[in-house]
Amino acid sequence: MRRALTVLLFFSPSALLHAGSFTVSTNVGGPIPAVGTGGVGAVWPTQLPADPAISQITLPHEVASVTNISITGLAHPSAGELHAALRDPNGIYYNLFVRSGFDGLDNWNQGNFFGPVCGIVTQNNNPFPGGPNNNIGGAIYTQDFGNTGTPPAPWPNGNAGIVNTPLNQIWGPAGTWSLVLWDWESGNVGSFTGWSMSGVRPSIETICLGDGTGLPCPCGNSGAPGHGCNNSSNTGGAILTGSGTFTPDTIVLTSTGERPTSLTIFVQGGQGVPTPFGDGVGCLAGLLKRLYVKSAVGGVATAPEPGDLSISARSAALGYTIPHGEFLVYQAYYRDVSATFCPGATFNVSSGLRITWP
């Protein structure tokens, strides 16, 4: 299910590269476990230890995917006792790392956690350390679901409400996200000083302009700032904007600045290199789906309209279900049949939108 987010109509071109990324952090840490020395009530792997250390971050926006979780000042004299998870605002727990070197019985990594930052990503060339006596220093490690022991003792997916989901497939709503750290054995106490979360937020961004700031328009027919290439009605070109929510999907595309009654096709695709296309500039490549065909009224075309499928539902009906974290590009192609304006083509193109879906 997609979750609600009211989206910005469009971003300035200077914001394009980083408009969908975020990093938030907190300096709130504490002892691990929060009380005592760990292991209270723990039954592997069905009953979690009591008194986990918990630190929270509040996000004002949805999350389309997570790219990195970094724990600062993480210290513990017995690394294989610790188990870390990310909890989303809906209460779903996602494993980050599970008991370094643990074999499911009585053996685990007796080395230390130390170092300024312990980062976790979906996959890199630095596996999470295991072994009987390996210190875990400050570095960025591959997310681990409990596969570092001999033999491995992987966490049963879904046990105790904790799932083994790759970071880049984690998505969720605005609200409070929490780092949760359990200590499975008694006798030792650790600590941390804070943590950070990096990821991609759902977004709508303006791209593929015909205003002279990028690829020149085919006939030198540059449009107004932020618009597509100019047309025979001299409107300054069409600009495509988007508004609505991601969940439920109520996003509406509006192409403004077309010719008064132009036939308009709203198209979805992957992002391609800007290319002359008709009287304008196109930026679509691959995954092309012709979503809606509309007629402009007073130079404005809108889709979907009441009674139409939503964008995500229409895409699925055409054979492409939009995955979480996917970014897709949208443009409106519209008729411009003037024989004297930019000869050789009978249509023009709006500016583009790049939507990062949750």
| Domain ranges across the chain | 21-200, 203-356
CA 63, CA 247: separation in Å to the nearest integer? 12
pTM comes to 0.74
pLDDT for res 247: 80
Q: Which residues contact 174 (CB under 8 A, 6 or more apart)?
A: 3, 5, 59, 60, 61, 62, 89
* Residue 141 contacts residue 123 (beta carbons within 8 Å): no
pLDDT for res 8: 26
Q: Any bridge partners for residue 43, and if so which? A: 47
pLDDT for res 11: 28
pLDDT for res 324: 81
pLDDT for res 1: 27
Q: Which residues in the chain land under pLDDT 50?
A: 1-19
User: Model confidence over 270-325: pLDDT tens digits?
Assistant: 999 999 999 999 999 998 999 999 999 999 999 999 999 999 999 999 999 998 87
The sign of the CA dihedral 266, 267, 273, 279 is negative
CA 84, CA 330: separation in Å to the nearest integer? 39
What kind of fold does domain 21-200 have according to CATH?
A: Jelly Rolls (2.60.120)
